Structures are given as structure tokens and as C-alpha cells.
């Protein structure tokens, strides 16, 4: 019985390594079958995703790492595309390996493309590229599939897709599913964002443009002025005006969020969050307002506009209350705009409802004290008086705006590889900015509009302690410390020129011991931890024969999260690095690289009968056709006859297990053994 179980599990483990997986099955349909020439309708792509797998969406930075889903349509005369492809309510996540935010689908995914109908009979043809991964055993698989549908007629609104892999007889069909609520955002992230917007609204109240307005505007609602040092509670009409005033503030700012969502839409907002032009513009705006906060100049709206709105507030009645709220919004413009802009920019994640709810939360916090003080005017006596402390708040906010604005410049810098704001330069700016903030809080630095300070208050001292603690946390990052708590705000580690952590743990031989000639493609492909190797199979095999070493094949991908995790947590171990650098010739075959090869290197695959034009597609075809596997990471070790020395290995974070895998492969190679 034990032998039977052993054989069963042994065969199961081998079969699990040698299989072609299809974790996502697609179907497509039209949003309506009742259309005519000139109508705009939607072409809907739906994916059924196997349990335990997730499919990366199309609406995050393609430079991050994971492979974004892309659709390519072959043009024809029956329709034309309108706008960009939209991912319908994907989930959001943060990846510590790639240090950035991404979007994905689990269970079911949906993408929509608006088209303009040019003929009654529609014909669609194209392909989609996507990547699915599983956290169960760490596999990631990129796919490149075609779709085609001729003669979409008036009543033909759905077509099930059939995924057929040539010569393998693997077919899967998808069935129609009941669509879940496609407008509901991720509750957790949305509530966190609304809390952020609410807190920023409270912070805005402490700026010099807003704080002095609280007692000034509250008197507008009082039936009688203060008598004998005590303010009387307003009567019923005063309370009503106070509520309308607060509601007007909320209405004005929420309309701003609504207009942003309506005018730009989810796709445009997402582009604003990732495209280099708006990111550079936003950085410039933040920089200008930061200089204003620091006291270099004052930004105000035209006096004519403010005076006209203010004149309307003197008319009294409910209309006067509304214009009083409008006047407050305009007067506070120079202090609220950078913060309001931050809320709107951070809401640009491809969702229509987020800017609206963000402005609703912001304005609720902003309007709250005005309404409460109008109800309870006696509280005004307990408020601190306006003074130099307000300018200190403004300066601190200005320094914070300066630091946070660098994030937008960093996005543009990474997307276009300018190299002007690499990780260590970015950190140097932050260390200097927050160091200046700490000295300012201690009174060691004074700016033009600051009042003389005889002593440091307790709150300023506590703030300076927090600030300097943050600076000390940043400093090790200059030498390669990961700073995981801030990884979402910092450029990726790959842009760091001087990584002492990597150098101390990596292999830095004076002369590479496993290189015979200059590797092809090494101008844009690299091994981690200063390892040396090849990126072309034939070149690597030739070197392995010349050096009489086994060939270590790393089937990997730019967008393979688990590949990066293996490299960071397993390959970084000195025992693994020593063996990889000394005992093997290495070749990394990127299955998702889109570098197009010269035409004389193209070939038609015997596996799926498709022409393989790019480096990645040829590597993926090699993995599938040779090893009947399409998941990454996938590690294969061969002898000089291109035979398996040991059974291939996939994602496994056990360092000792990987060391044993390498040692057993070396022993088998020297003994002339091959895998059964």
C-alpha cells in the first residue's frame, strides 16, 4: 500500500510539472444586438479564471513589472474603435517585489471596448496578451491568443470562445455567467481613501487661508453679536442657515469631484495617473504651490471674481448663505488647491465614483467646524488666536508638498528612462527636505513671514522628534536598504546605482567564470545579484559544452512576480549564488520579452502553427514544445546532449531545497546520469 501511494504521488508530481495549463478561458459578446450604422456599442470580453489564480488587468503602469492585459484589433471596414479599452472594476493590490500598485481579477474578469458601427454585419479579428499567476505554488503564465468572429448580426450578441492548442487536443469552452455588481469598488481601499480625504480636509483647516475665516464666517449666522463676552446660541433660522452653509460647502467641492469624473472619465483619469505629461505638469504645480507656502510669493484668484461672489453673499437669505460658502471656497483657494489636487490625483485609478466620494469626504471635514461653531458660538472663545503658528503650519505643508511632488516626476522618469531621479537621488531629496523640516520645527531656520520664537513648544518638539526619526529611517536607503514601508513612494531598487546590500551578498568575481563570449541582448537583459550568463539558448549551450558544465535554464519573465521573489529570497543566499556562478552556465529565457527579431530569425511553430517573431514568443514556444510546460519560474538543467539531468523545479522558496536541487544536478552531471 505504501509503495502504491508513493508511486501515485511521484507520478502526480511529475505530471503537475509537465502539463499545459489554461487557467483563464475567454468569451466575448456585444452589448446589444440591436444596432445600425453610426451607433456606438461595446464589445465585451469576459474571462473565467480558475480558483487560486489571478489575471493581471490592463489599467496599471506597464513599466511596473507584471504583464498588463492588452488587446490588439485588426482594422476592417465594419467598425472603428472609440476610446481606450476599459477594465471593469478590477481589484487593487500592492506588490512588494516590484514596489508598486497593480490591478487584477479573480474568478471573473471583464474588459470593454467601445466601437462605432460602420456596417450591419460586423467582423472582429485580433489577439489578446495577458498573464495569470497563482500564489498557491508561485507559477506565472503569459498567454498570447487570437480571437475572430465573422458576421456579428443583428441578433447574434454572444459568442463563446474556444481555446484550442494545436497538436495537443486541449480544448476548453466557457459558459455564460451571471455578472456581479460591476460598479461596486473595492470596499477596503475605498474606505481607506475616503478616510485619507477626510483627514486632508481637517489639515486644510489649519492653513492660514482657512483658519482665520472660521470666526469671521460664524458671525454671519448669529442672531445677535456677543454680549458680555458670551455668545448666544442662534435661533431656529440661524441653525437652518448654519446647516445650509455647511451643505453648500459640501455641494461646491463635491461638484468639483463630479465634474472631474464626468469630464475626464475613468480611462482618462487613469491615464492622468500614469502618463508622463500630466505627471510632469502636476509636479510643476506642486512645486509652484510649495514655493507659495514657503512664502516666496502669494497665489490668489482675481479680485474682481472674489468681489463679485462676495457681493452676492450680502443679499441675505438662503442665496446669500450659498454665496458666502462660495466666497469661502474662493478665498481659501491658494491653500486648498494643492490638497484638493492631491485628492483628485490620488483618486485617478480608473474609477468613476472615487473622485466624487473623495471630494465628499474632504468637504465634510472642511465644513464640519464652520457648522459646529455656528451652532455653538461660545466655542469660539476657546479657539487659539491666529498668529505665527499658522505660518509654521503653512511652511510644513509646503515642505511636504515639495517632497510628495517628487513622486509625480518619478513616475515620468521611470516610464521614459530619463535617469534624472534614480532611487538614491530621490532619497537624497527627501532626506534634505525632511531634515530642513525638523530644523524648522526646532526654530533653527526662519522664513520671511515667521514670527520670532523664544522657545520651542511641546507639540513642535514632538513633531521634530517624529521628523528626525523619519530622516534616520531614510538614510540607510542611500546604501540599498529596502525601506519597505515607503516602497510605494520610492523609485524601484533597480534604479539604485550603489546597492551595498547586494554587493555584500552577491558574487563579484574579477573575471566571469561561466562566460565564453559577450552575451547577446545583454544591453537590455540582466541577471540579478551580479551573476553572469546568457539570454540566448544556442549561445549558452555552446559555452556549456566548451566549459564542460551543466546548462542551467531559467524560464522567466519581466512580469513574473514569483520569479523576482525567487531571485530576492532564494538566489540571494550566498550558498545558491556560489553554486550558480561556479558550477553552471546560466541562460535566462524571458518568455514575455517583446523585442522583435530580424525577419530571417522568424519561424512558424510546430506547436500552434503561429509565426514567432519576438524573443519572448520564441522562448515561450521553446518551453512549451520542449518541456510541455508554460509556467514561470521554471528551472531546467541539461547536459551537453541537451538531456535533463534532474527533474525541473518550479517556484519554491526553500533555500536548502534549491541548494539540494543544484547539488544533485551537479552530482548527476559528473556521474553521467540523466533524469528518468
Q: How far apart are CA 626 and CA 259, in angstroms?
A: 55
Instruction: Please give the biggest Cα pair distance in the chain.
Output: 103
- Identify whether the C-beta of residue 55 lies closer than 8 Å to the C-beta of residue 140: no
Task: Report the 3 state secondary structure along 147-163.
Answer: EEEEEECCCCCEEECEE
Cα–Cα distance for residue pair 506/549, rounded to 1 Å: 21
Q: Is there a contact between 653 and 569 (Cβ–Cβ < 8 Å)?
A: yes
CA–CA gap between residue 428 and residue 497 (Å, rounded): 13
Mean per-residue pLDDT pooled into runs of 10, the chain (676 residues)? 42 46 84 80 90 89 84 86 89 78 91 87 84 78 78 43 35 31 43 79 69 59 43 56 80 74 52 62 78 73 53 58 71 59 53 71 81 70 61 81 81 66 90 95 86 84 95 90 66 67 49 78 84 94 94 87 80 91 94 87 88 91 89 92 92 90 93 78
**Cell digits for 64?**
511596473
Kindly state the cell numbers that stand for 173: 469552452
Q: CA 275 to CA 2: how far, in whole Å?
A: 60
Q: Give the architecture (CATH level 2) of 2-173.
A: Sandwich (2.60)
What are the counts of helices (DSSP H) followed by strands (DSSP E) for the chain? Answer: 18, 18
Predicted structure pTM score: 0.46
Q: What distances in angstroms separate CA 539 from CA 261, 409, 555, 593, 632, one per listed residue?
A: 53, 40, 16, 18, 22
Best CA proximity match to 516, nearest among 488, 492, 551, 484: 551
How many Cβ atoms sit within 10 Å of the Cβ of residue 566? 27
Q: How many CB atoms lie within 10 A of CB 436?
A: 17
Query: What is the CATH number that goes with domain 507-671?
Result: 3.40.30.10
Residue 446 phi, psi (nearest 5): -125, 140
pLDDT for the residue 237: 61
* Residue length of the chain: 676
CB atoms within 10 A of CB 201: 24
Cell of 577: 549564488
Nine-digit cell string for 415:
516610464
Q: What per-residue confidence (pLDDT) applies to 439?
A: 94
In this structure, are residues 447 and 295 in contact, taking their beta carbons and an 8 Å threshold?
yes
Distance between CA atoms of residues 391 and 491, nearest Å: 32
- List, in sequence order, every residue forming a beta bridge with 554; answer none if it has no partner: 588, 635
- C-alpha cell at position 121: 454585419
Residues 6+ apart with CB under 8 A from 157: 29, 30, 32, 33
Give the C-alpha separation, 100 to 519, whole Å: 30
Let me know: does 140 contact 131? Beta carbons within 8 Å. Answer: yes
Q: Are 215 and 381 in contact (CB under 8 A)?
A: no
Q: How far apart are CA 560 and CA 633, in angstroms?
A: 8
pLDDT of amino acid 277: 75
For position 67, what pLDDT does the model report? 86
Can you give the pLDDT at residue 303? 55
Q: Do 200 and 208 form a contact (C-beta atoms < 8 A)? A: no
**Where are the chain's structural domains?**
2-173, 188-383, 386-505, 507-671
Amino acid at each position: 500500500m505504501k509503495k502504491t501511494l508513493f508511486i501515485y504521488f511521484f507520478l502526480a508530481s511529475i505530471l503537475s510539472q509537465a502539463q499545459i495549463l489554461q487557467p483563464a478561458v475567454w468569451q466575448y459578446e456585444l452589448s446589444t444586438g440591436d444596432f445600425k450604422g453610426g451607433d456606438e456599442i461595446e464589445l465585451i470580453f469576459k474571462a473565467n479564471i480558475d480558483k487560486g489564480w489571478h489575471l493581471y488587468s490592463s489599467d496599471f503602469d506597464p513599466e511596473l513589472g507584471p504583464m498588463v492585459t492588452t488587446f490588439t484589433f485588426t482594422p476592417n471596414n465594419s467598425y472603428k474603435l472609440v476610446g481606450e479599452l476599459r477594465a471593469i472594476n478590477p481589484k487593487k493590490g500592492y506588490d512588494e517585489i516590484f514596489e508598486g500598485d497593480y490591478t487584477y481579477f479573480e474568478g471573473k474578469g471583464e474588459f470593454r471596448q467601445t466601437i462605432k458601427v460602420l456596417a450591419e454585419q460586423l467582423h472582429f479579428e485580433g489577439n489578446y496578451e495577458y498573464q495569470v499567476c497563482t500564489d498557491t505554488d508561485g507559477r506565472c503564465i503569459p498567454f498570447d491568443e487570437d480571437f475572430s468572429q465573422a458576421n456579428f448580426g443583428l441578433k447574434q450578441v454572444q459568442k463563446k470562445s474556444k481555446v484550442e492548442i494545436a497538436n495537443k487536443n486541449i480544448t476548453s469552452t466557457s459558459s455564460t455567467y451571471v455578472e456581479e455588481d460591476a460598479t461596486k469598488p473595492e470596499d477596503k481601499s475605498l474606505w481607506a481613501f475616503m478616510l485619507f480625504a477626510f483627514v486632508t480636509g481637517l489639515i486644510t483647516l489649519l492653513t492660514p487661508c482657512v483658519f482665520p475665516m472660521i470666526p469671521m464666517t460664524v458671525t454671519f449666522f448669529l442672531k445677535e453679536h456677543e454680549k458680555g463676552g458670551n455668545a448666544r446660541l442662534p435661533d431656529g433660522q440661524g441653525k437652518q442657515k448654519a446647516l445650509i452653509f455647511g451643505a453648500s460647502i459640501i455641494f461646491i467641492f463635491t461638484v468639483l469631484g463630479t465634474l472631474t469624473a464626468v469630464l475626464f472619465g475613468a480611462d482618462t483619469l487613469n491615464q492622468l495617473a500614469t502618463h508622463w505629461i500630466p505627471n510632469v505638469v502636476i509636479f510643476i504645480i506642486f512645486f509652484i504651490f510649495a514655493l507659495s507656502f514657503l512664502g516666496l510669493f502669494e497665489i490668489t484668484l482675481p479680485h474682481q471674481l472674489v468681489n463679485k461672489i462676495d457681493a452676492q453673499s450680502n443679499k441675505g437669505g438662503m442665496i446669500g448663505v450659498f454665496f458666502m460658502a462660495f466666497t469661502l471656497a474662493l478665498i481659501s483657494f491658494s491653500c486648498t488647491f494643492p490638497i484638493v489636487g492631491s485628492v483628485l490625483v490620488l483618486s485617478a485609478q480608473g474609477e468613476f465614483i472615487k473622485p466624487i466620494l473623495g471630494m465628499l469626504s474632504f468637504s465634510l471635514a472642511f465644513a464640519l467646524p464652520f457648522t459646529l461653531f455656528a451652532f455653538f458660538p461660545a466655542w469660539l472663545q476657546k479657539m487659539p488666536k491666529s498668529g505665527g503658528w499658522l505660518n509654521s503650519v503653512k511652511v510644513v505643508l509646503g515642505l511636504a508638498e515639495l517632497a510628495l511632488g517628487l513622486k509625480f516626476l518619478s513616475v515620468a522618469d521611470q516610464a521614459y528612462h530619463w535617469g534624472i531621479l534614480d532611487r538614491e537621488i530621490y532619497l537624497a531629496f527627501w532626506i534634505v527636505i525632511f531634515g530642513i523640516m525638523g530644523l524648522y520645527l526646532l526654530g533653527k531656520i526662519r522664513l520671511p513671514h515667521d514670527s520670532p520664537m523664544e522657545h520651542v513648544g511641546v507639540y513642535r518638539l514632538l513633531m521634530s522628534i517624529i521628523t528626525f526619526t523619519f530622516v534616520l529611517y531614510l538614510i540607510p536607503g542611500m546604501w540599498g536598504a529596502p525601506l519597505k514601508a515607503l516602497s510605494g513612494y520610492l523609485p524601484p531598487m533597480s534604479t539604485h546605482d550603489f546597492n551595498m546590500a547586494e554587493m555584500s551578498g552577491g558574487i563579484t568575481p574579477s573575471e566571469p567564470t561561466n562566460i565564453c563570449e559577450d552575451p547577446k541582448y545583454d544591453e537590455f537583459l540582466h541577471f540579478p545579484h551580479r551573476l553572469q550568463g546568457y539570454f540566448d539558448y544556442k549561445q549558452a549551450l555552446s559555452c556549456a559544452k566548451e566549459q564542460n558544465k551543466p546548462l542551467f535554464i531559467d524560464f522567466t519573465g519581466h512580469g513574473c512576480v514569483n520569479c523576482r521573489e525567487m531571485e530576492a529570497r532564494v538566489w540571494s543566499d550566498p550558498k545558491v549564488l556560489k553554486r550558480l556562478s561556479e558550477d553552471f552556465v546560466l541562460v535566462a529565457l524571458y518568455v514575455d520579452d517583446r523585442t522583435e527579431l530580424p525577419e530571417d530569425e522568424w519561424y512558424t511553430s510546430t506547436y500552434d502553427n503561429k509565426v514567432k517573431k519576438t524573443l519572448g514568443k520564441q522562448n515561450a514556444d521553446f518551453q512549451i514544445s520542449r518541456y510541455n510546460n508554460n509556467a514561470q519560474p521554471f528551472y531546467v538543467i541539461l547536459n551537453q546532449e541537451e538531456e535533463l539531468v534532474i527533474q525541473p523545479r518550479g517556484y519554491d522558496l526553500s533555500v536548502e531545497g534549491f541548494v539540494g536541487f543544484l547539488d544533485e544536478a551537479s552530482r548527476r552531471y559528473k556521474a553521467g546520469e540523466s533524469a528518468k
